[in-house]
Structures are given as C-alpha cells and as structure tokens.
Structure 1
Amino acid sequence: MEEINLSSIQSIVLWATFAVGLAFGAISHRTHFCTMGAIADVVNFGDWNRMRMWLLAIAVATLGLQGLSITGHANLNDTIFLNSQWSWLSGIVGGLLFGAGMVLASGCGSKTLIRLGAGNLKALMVFVIMGITAYMTLKGVFGVFRANYLDPVRFEFSSSPYLPELLANLFSQEPAGLIPILAIALPVILLIMALGSKSAWNKEVIVGGAGVGLTIVAAWWVVFQVAYIPEHPDTLEAAYLGTYANRAEGFSFVAPYAYTLEWLMFFSDVTRVLTVGVVACFGVILGATANALMEKSFRWETFQGVEDTANHTVGAVMMGVGGVLALGCTVGQGLSGVSTLSLASFVALGSIVVGAMGALKYQMWRVERMV
C-alpha cells in the first residue's frame, strides 16, 4: 500500500511540475522574458524595461518563497543554495563562463528551451551540446578538474549563507526577531526597484515579471508541499519524491539538460526515472510551442553561417560547464537560488551578469572593427 501511495504522490509531483513548466514557457515566450536580452537591452540601448521585468520576477519569487518559509511551508535549508560550505571559486568562474556563453548562444538555458519550442533548430544544437558538457562537468572529464581544483576552494559559514541571518547578526545582538523582517524587506526593495519607473507599468513587464516569478513560487510549493514526505518507508528518512538528489529542487536548466539526455538515451533502463528537472524542460518547450502556435509566430530557423554555428557551439559548451560550476543558470541561481536569499546565489548571479556584459562589449568591439 505504501508503494502505491508513493508512486501516486510522485506522479502528482511530476505532472504538477510539468504544468508549471508549461506556464513558464508560455509566459516567457509571450512576454519575451529573457535575462540575456534584458542585459543586452541595457548595455546596447540603455533600455531597462526587460531588466525591470527580470527584477520583478526575482522580487515576486523571493517574496513568495520567503512567505512559505516564514509560515512553515518551506524548509530553505533543504535546498543546495544554503550549504554552509560555499565553493566560491566555482561559483564565480562558473557564473562568468555561463554569462559569456549565453551571449554567444543567443540565450540562457530557459531561453534555449523557449526558442526550441518556437522552432529554432540552433537551440536544438545548443540543448544537446549544453547537456553533454553539463554531464561531463557533473561526472566526466571536466568533473575531475572541478572536484580537484575548484570546489575545494571554499568559505565556511558559521551556519549558512542566508542573507537575512547574516545581516541580522551584523546589525543586531538579538537577531532572531530581525531575520523574518529582513526576509520580507529585501524582496520589497527589489520590487520597488522594478516598479519605480512609469515605463515599467505596462502589460508586458507586469505579466512577464509577475507571471514568471509566480511559476518559480509554484515550483517550490510543489516540491515542499507535495513532494516532501517526512519518513520514506524504505529509508525511514525524510525525502523529496521526484527529485534527482532527494533534496528540494526549484526550477533550473543546466543539470536537468544532462538528466534529460540521460533519460532519453537510457529509456529502457528502469533505474532511469523522470525527475522534476526533466519534466520541467519538456513543459517549458511545449508551453513555448503552444504560445508560438497561438500567436502564429512558430517558424523554423537555422544557422546563418560558420561564425554563427561556431558562436552557438562555444556558447553552449561554456554554459554547460559554467552552469554546473555555478550550481545553476539565470533561472537556477538568478530566480530559484536568489529567492532563497542565499549570498552565494547573489554572487553567482552577479558573476553571470558580469560575464554577459563582457561578452556583449566584446561583440560590440568586433562590430566596430569591421565597420
């Protein structure tokens, strides 16, 4: 009876995550939500609208998750983002690589799925190469280098890199009461930054930012409220059904690329099962496809030449390696990770932004030389 119940719960978790992925893909495609595009708009044109959309998504996701945590509906310490041992060198190097790679590949991990869903064949190649290199960084030849030379460079926190706790300890001798206040105040500041301009008050920014942010909250809610069981009958330990590492997993689109390819290649192996990361990838693709068909914007697109192919190839490799090193992408760290208010996630996100800005400046320099 227990096995039947567990199987039923896992099925609900996967279908619910798939539905959230559908919503994420449809909303992102409809509103042109894109982190790389947001950074490019600011660097190239001084246009902050998509950046405000991104900040709004972060603020909504963070407010939602912190609300779940404060009310006892989420245990943030069960995520990978609040580990007391912070491999800061991996996070920074990975973030820089990922940020530069997403510029070369015309979008981050989530944008690649959205472009693929809308008929972009370049995104298909990016998906495959990124998934392979992510797997190589998780368990293959790049993984050896990562484990031996980057991950061991760590900083040990006394408890965790939870930003409200760190700030409360810094400014107060009795921090307990201050922590939940800061947990709400920090995303409120982001909310004010996102909506502090009249140009931000338009349908695309509001729907894109709030919609994407709410899907991140929904994904967390599914994991914490549906997938969690306090005592697994086989291990007698707490478990998160449907996750890859038996930990609370939010949306992220780097390692799930690798696990999606693994599931497709070893489909007949019964030990390879669907996880929330894999079904989220499928959901985002199909959500983007559905919206593209509704808008009649679905069209096949391929490479324009050798340079375009080379840029996407190199960018995919950089994102696959960098995303694993940084423990996430612009969604994995930039939304799911930052929503936990982990200092490590903010540093990784900052590194992604710096890497993207550097690559954009390089592209502008190349164009100016050619003129």
Structure 2
Amino acid sequence: MSLAEFESLSTAVLAVIFLLAAILGFAMRESRFCTMGAISDVVYLQDWQRMRQWAMAVGVAMCGVTALVLWGGVAVGDTLYASAQLLWLSALVGGLLFGAGMVLASGCSARNLTRLGGGSLKALVVLIVMGLAAFGTLKGITAVARVRWLDSVHLQFNTLALLPELLAQASGWSLFATRLGLGLGLGALLILIGLNPRNRVDRGVLLGGAIVGLCVTAAWWLGGHVAEIAEHPETLEHMYATTYSGRIEAFSFVTPVAHTLDWLLFFSDKNKVLTWGIASACGMVAGSWLHALWRRDFQWQGFANTQDLSRHLLGAALMGIGGVTAMGCTVGQGISAVSLLSLGSFIAITGIVAGAVGMLRYLAGAE
C-alpha cells in the first residue's frame, strides 16, 4: 500500500466513524439512552424500561460481534481489550469512581456529549473537566497513582482474559464452539430480557437500544476489517488505521474526549493528528445537534447555582479518573468491551453500577 492509498483509507475511515457516531448520538438522544438514567429509574422508581434498553443494546452488540469474530471480520487478539493480564483492581476501582461521578455529573460521558449537542453548557463544562482529569490519569499526576497502586495488582493468564478463551482452555472445548455458545447464548438471553412480553416497554426505547448495539457492531467491523493495514507504508508494521493505539477500537468516550482537547490545544503540532476517538466524539455531538434541530428543542442550558456547579465539577473529575483507570465508560466497557466477553468488562460494569447506586442512595439520604 502506498502512502497516498493509506492516507485515502484513513480519511475514509474517519468520515465513516464520524457518520456512525452521529447516528449513535441521534439514536441515543431520540430514545433517551442513558445508563445512569436506567440505574436511577430502577433505584428511585423501580422502572426497568431503560435497563431493558441497555440489555437490548448489549445483546445485539454481543451477537453481532460474536458473528464478526467467528467470520474472521475482527481479530479478537488485536482489539484494545485483549490482554493476558486482568487488571481487576483498576477495573473495579475505576468503575466505582466513574459510576459515582456520572451520577453527580447528570450522566455518563456519552450522555453529556448528546446533551452538549442539545445546547447544554453544563455538559460542555463537564466534558472539559472530564477530559483534563482523564489526560492527567493517562500521563499526569494521577497516572502515577494508577500505575503504582492499581495496575500493579493484576492476574496473569496463559491466554487472553476473555471468557471464551479462558473457558476453552479450562474445559478443553474448541474455542470456536465456546465463543459461539457464550456469545450468541448470552446475547440472545439479553435480547429476550429486553423483549420480555410480560412487561410492556415502549418500542421506540427498544429500537434505540437495538440501534446502539448495531452501531457498536459496525464500529468493530469498521475498525477491525476495513481499517486493517497489513503493512504501514513507512514503518511496515501491521496496524489499524486512525486508532490512537494502533489496535482495533470501537466506541468509548472518556479517553477520546481527552485526546480531542489535546488535538485542539496543540492543533499546529504535526504530531497531533485526527484519530478514531476524536472523530467519534465529534460525531456524537453532531448527531445529537441534528436531532435537537429536528425535534426543535435545542436550548441553551446553564448551572442553577454554585452547588450545582461544584457537584458537576466533582462528578466530571471522577469520571475522567475512573474512565481511564477502568479502561472505558458505560459505552466503552459497558457495551463495546463486554460484547467481546472481556472478563475485565464484567468487573468494570459491576463497579460502575455499584458506584452509581451508592451515590444515588447517598444523595437521596442527604436531601
């Protein structure tokens, strides 16, 4: 592949992921997709409708990604979440911090991107602070604590820390059959939970969840198949175009926001290039903005008072630190990584839910 062909492919991938993220942002805003909202509905109202929407999204993504992996459209070992190390303490602590933070910040990173598209200046402040906290946890002062105290505590396996690989190694079953059974079985179960006919749920809500799952599946296919480069024209290395890590990435919205700030602040630096994560974050805002114009409900919103501001600032900082520590947010770990059946994603999701429930109950008791 020539350099010109590589640049052309990279531009095309960035354009497609931007459009795919715009569809995701549009669908999330239309269906009110929000993991924090789903958890708060259960805690405060015993309403499981949006939790079933999340189950639908994960189920669709899990079935779709399993099919991609078995077909050969995604090399699971080249994904961002594939590692023989299980950073279980980082996943748990990061998840707890992120879950508590998203309650204080009125939604997770994805939710704040869609709120920004609708005119929320509160979301803009949250995203800026979250991005700064995330960057500090990637390379700054909190990164030292993360690496020294959390990442150093891990489990080492002889295979990838993914459920199919671990189960196949322990049982002696074929990896193909194990992934087929686990991926499609768990995915179908989650879809059935979403479709449970005994408890009615708005069709638009379930459709929104299904679209979210399909967008995540499409992102894995785009990043793992279309963007694959056998040999980089300059380094001759096998890599995946436009991703920051050089590995296969899907949707996640904490680290990409930090990279977006970095790209904007040092735009004239030729080493700062437009990446997959930046394009997806911008696409989310663009899609939700188009939805706001379509629904004619775009409206500038600000903080009610200094207490509201301080609460959102703390929540944003916790999300930035927690999202990087856990290697993902409610979309990154909660849908993208878990669709690969990553063991770490289940731990991170547990932490996120526990942190959110704990903070919701604390706020309810403090009022």
Give 1:198 shift: 4.1
Matching of residue 178 in structure 1 with residue 174 in structure 2: no
CA-to-aligned-CA distance 1:181-219 (integer Å, 9 cap, x gap): 222112112112222244455322222110111111111
Report the Cα distance in structure 2 between the residues aligned to 1:258 and 1:355, rounded to whole angstroms: 22
Give 1:168 shift: 4.0
1:210-359 to structure 2, matched below 5 A, reads 210-359=210-359
Query: Structure 2: where are the runs of 5+ without partners?
Result: none
AA aligned to 1:12 is A
AA aligned to 1:302 is G
TM-score by length of 2: 0.97
1:79-98 to structure 2, matched below 5 A, reads 79-98=79-98
Give 1:177 shift: 5.2
Map of 1:102 onto structure 2 = 102
Map of 1:136 onto structure 2 = 136
Q: Does the Cα contact within 8 Å between 1:52 and 1:200 map onto a contact in 2?
A: no
| Larger displacement relative to structure 2 (231-240 or 290-299) | 231-240
CA-to-aligned-CA distance 1:291-330 (integer Å, 9 cap, x gap): 0111111111110111110110000000000000000000
AA aligned to 2:17 is T
| Larger displacement relative to structure 2 (140-149 or 188-197) | 188-197
Report the Cα distance in structure 1 between the residues aligned to 2:118 and 2:168, rounded to whole angstroms: 46
Report the Cα distance in structure 2 between the residues aligned to 1:177 and 1:336, rounded to whole angstroms: 20
CA-to-aligned-CA distance 1:114-162 (integer Å, 9 cap, x gap): 0000000000000100000000000001111111111111101220121
AA aligned to 2:100 is A
- The structure-2 alpha-carbon separation of the partners of 1:177 and 1:319, relative to structure 1 and needing over 3 Å to count, comes to closer
Give 1:178 shift: 3.1
Report the Cα distance in structure 1 between the residues aligned to 2:3 and 2:174, rounded to whole angstroms: 44
Map of 1:67 onto structure 2 = 67
Report the Cα distance in structure 2 between the residues aligned to 1:181 and 1:268, rounded to whole angstroms: 50
Q: Does the Cα contact within 8 Å between 2:129 and 2:313 map onto a contact in 1?
A: yes
Query: Structure 1: where are the runs of 5+ without partners?
Result: none
| Larger displacement relative to structure 2 (176-185 or 11-20) | 176-185
Report the Cα distance in structure 1 between the residues aligned to 2:214 and 2:127, rounded to whole angstroms: 25
| Larger displacement relative to structure 2 (149-158 or 193-202) | 193-202
- The structure-2 alpha-carbon separation of the partners of 1:200 and 1:75, relative to structure 1 and needing over 3 Å to count, comes to farther
AA aligned to 1:29 is R
Q: Does the Cα contact within 8 Å between 1:165 and 1:175 map onto a contact in 2?
A: no
Report the Cα distance in structure 2 between the residues aligned to 1:173 and 1:302, rounded to whole angstroms: 57
Report the Cα distance in structure 1 between the residues aligned to 2:157 and 2:192, rounded to whole angstroms: 30
Report the Cα distance in structure 1 between the residues aligned to 2:5 and 2:199, rounded to whole angstroms: 50
Map of 2:122 onto structure 1 = 122
Report the Cα distance in structure 2 between the residues aligned to 1:174 and 1:70, rounded to whole angstroms: 15
AA aligned to 1:364 is A
Report the Cα distance in structure 2 between the residues aligned to 1:173 and 1:130, rounded to whole angstroms: 44
Map of 2:15 onto structure 1 = 15
Report the Cα distance in structure 1 between the residues aligned to 2:63 and 2:51, rounded to whole angstroms: 18
Q: Does the Cα contact within 8 Å between 1:136 and 1:142 map onto a contact in 2?
A: yes
Report the Cα distance in structure 1 between the residues aligned to 2:199 and 2:76, rounded to whole angstroms: 34
Report the Cα distance in structure 1 between the residues aligned to 2:103 and 2:35, rounded to whole angstroms: 10
Give 1:79 shift: 1.4
Give 1:39 shift: 0.3
Identity of aligned residues (%): 46
Aligned partner of residue 80 in structure 1, secondary structure: coil
- The structure-2 alpha-carbon separation of the partners of 1:216 and 1:291, relative to structure 1 and needing over 3 Å to count, comes to same
| Larger displacement relative to structure 2 (85-94 or 36-45) | 85-94
Give 1:23 shift: 0.1
| Larger displacement relative to structure 2 (43-52 or 199-208) | 199-208
| Larger displacement relative to structure 2 (267-276 or 74-83) | 74-83
Aligned partner of residue 110 in structure 2, secondary structure: helix
TM-score by length of 1: 0.96
